[in-house]
Copies of this chain bind each other. A is one copy, B any other.
Amino acid sequence: MSSASIFDSAIHGHLWAPSELRERLGDRGRIAGWLEVLAALARAQAEHGVIPADAADAIASTLDASALDLDAIARATQASGHSTAGLIEVCRGQLPERAREFFYYGATVQDVTDTWSSIVVRDLAVAVARELRALEGRLLELAEAHRATVMLGRTHAQPGAPTTLGLKLAVWLAEVRRHVERLIAVRERVAVAQLAGAVGTSASLGTAAPAVRRRFAELLGLAAPEAPWLTARDRVIEFACTCALVTGTLAKAGNEVKQLQRPEIGELTERNPAGTVGSITMPHKRNPEGSEQLGTLARVVRACASAALEGAVHEHERDGTAWKTEWWWLPECCMATAAAVRLATTVIEHLDVDVERMRANIDAMRGYVMSETVMLALAERTGKHIAHEAVYAAAMDGQERGLDFRAAIAPTAERLGLDAGELDRLLAPELVVPAAAAGVDEATASVRARRAGDPPWLTANGPDRAP
């Protein structure tokens, strides 16, 4: 059967999803996850005498998702019109007789699918948090390395006053840190099992329900929920919103690279591997493809978050319309987010910074970007707003007449008692460095301190640059 979603394209999918995640979320991976949940359910039930122990053993040891006949499951699914009846039928056929009737016992579909979703979302929160933390490490280094690298600050896409690259990166850094902290909270909140039965009462498990539920959750490394959440989807929705926040930041960084990579600006460049083709019609092209794809992935995740938010309104004890929408957005949201975090790491790891061009771009503004500094110096003599009016008038006139800012402002400066030497001093872009660098230092110090308090699961395993 062909795959038509771009996420599943053999040719283009690598830009949309890490392949290991695609495996995990695909039919076999999903079934493997469900079987793991069902094995834990059987074990918990056996421990509490709900089903025989040997049935639980057989359920755990017999079923192998990689060997199941997907076509048979598909046929049985369509014949029953039920989302898991087909799987149950095929699995029963594989199980020894003693276990057959205790497979998927006393549980509703959502008990299995929601619990699996919690595991997936929990793991993704962990993976994304770890990758963001590694990215944070890189941003810490970069922000510090460039704490005094002067460049244009731009507002409304127009040169404003100088800033430093380090401060720009410190803004990203602080945002990434907040996302890490959000993900710590989200991971905690989403990692809950579901074992609620048909309508939430767990009636099928009788008085053993609470104990079975706790053990079931524990076996899977999850918490037991304080209440059934068949129709309370706030946790997964919060996860989707957090993904949208995370990918939003990455898209912002991507767009910044894309805009500053314009050769007319040329301050940042996404370094492409050798052999990369930018265009089949224009052979010279070197495109910020990774940076742009960050924008694309963020849009996808945002659309998922919108759909997720609508799903807060579940009707009664199960709402097929709202619930099944999750079957769509949850995997796609996970894939796009994971792909974005990985891609952002690559883009930032391979970012070329052209420090000289940054300085040259400031110089090309012919002094105007120092208008605030001059205004503030004049303000000491004449007041802020009067100084603004004076500098404004001089700057507008100077730009009209093609003067540089020094020439434009000199008469005003002289009139207001600012001598030429002082004026020259005020026109040096490096004047902003102490303030900007202090801003960098404040941000990095804050991030380092909070980073030091990260929980072990976040700092252990996986890539994690030392602070």
Residues of B within 8 A of A255 (CB): 313, 315, 321
Contact A371 B284, beta carbon cutoff 8 Å: yes
Contact B232 A5, beta carbon cutoff 8 Å: no
Q: What separation, in Å, do the CA atoms of A244 and B316 have in the docked complex?
A: 20
Contact B203 A315, beta carbon cutoff 8 Å: no
Q: What separation, in Å, do the CA atoms of A303 and B330 have in the docked complex?
A: 13
**Contacting A312 at CB < 8 Å: which of B159, B245, B288?**
B245
Q: What separation, in Å, do the CA atoms of A96 and B335 have in the docked complex?
A: 40
Residues of B within 8 A of A92 (CB): 385
Contact B13 A8, beta carbon cutoff 8 Å: no
**Any B CB within 8 A of the CB of A62:** no
Interface size on A, residues (CB 8 A): 206
**Any B CB within 8 A of the CB of A170:** yes
One of A124-132, A415-423, A431-439, A455-463 contacting the partner: A431-439
**Contacting A8 at CB < 8 Å: which of B5, B84, B178, B230?**
B5
Q: What separation, in Å, do the CA atoms of A165 and B380 have in the docked complex?
A: 47
**Any B CB within 8 A of the CB of A351:** no
Residue of B nearest to A70 (CB): B10
Q: What separation, in Å, do the CA atoms of A392 and B74 have in the docked complex?
A: 21
**Any B CB within 8 A of the CB of A174:** yes
A264-B264, A264-B361 are contacts. A372–B303 as well, Cβ < 8 Å? no
A209-B438, A226-B443, A248-B312 are contacts. A287–B237 as well, Cβ < 8 Å? no
Contact B373 A153, beta carbon cutoff 8 Å: no
Residues of B within 8 A of A73 (CB): 10-11
Interface residues of A in 227-259 (CB under 8 A from B): 227-232, 234-235, 237-238, 241, 244-245, 248-249, 251-252, 254-256, 258-259
A161-B199, A226-B443 are contacts. A12–B83 as well, Cβ < 8 Å? yes
**Any B CB within 8 A of the CB of A46:** no
**Any B CB within 8 A of the CB of A318:** yes
Interface residues of A in 1-35 (CB under 8 A from B): 1-14, 16-17, 19, 21-29
Q: What separation, in Å, do the CA atoms of A2 and B18 have in the docked complex?
A: 11
A2-B28, A321-B296 are contacts. A435–B282 as well, Cβ < 8 Å? no
Residues of B within 8 A of A157 (CB): 258-259, 261-262, 288, 315-316, 319
For residue A418, give the distance in angstroms from its CB to the closest CB of chain B.
Answer: 15
Q: What separation, in Å, do the CA atoms of A88 and B279 have in the docked complex?
A: 12
For residue A313, give the distance in angstroms from its CB to the closest CB of chain B.
Answer: 5
Residue of B nearest to A16 (CB): B328
**A81-124 near B? 1/0 per residue, CB < 8 Å:** 11111111000100000001111111111000000000000000
The 30 listed contacts between A and B (C-beta, < 8 Å) are A2-B27, A3-B27, A4-B26, A6-B331, A9-B26, A9-B27, A16-B328, A80-B275, A82-B276, A109-B280, A153-B201, A154-B199, A156-B258, A162-B201, A163-B199, A163-B201, A182-B238, A198-B282, A203-B431, A204-B376, A252-B315, A259-B259, A259-B316, A262-B265, A283-B371, A283-B388, A283-B392, A284-B395, A299-B321, A303-B307
3 A-B pairs with the lowest CB-CB distances in the bound complex, closest first? A248-B312, A101-B383, A153-B199
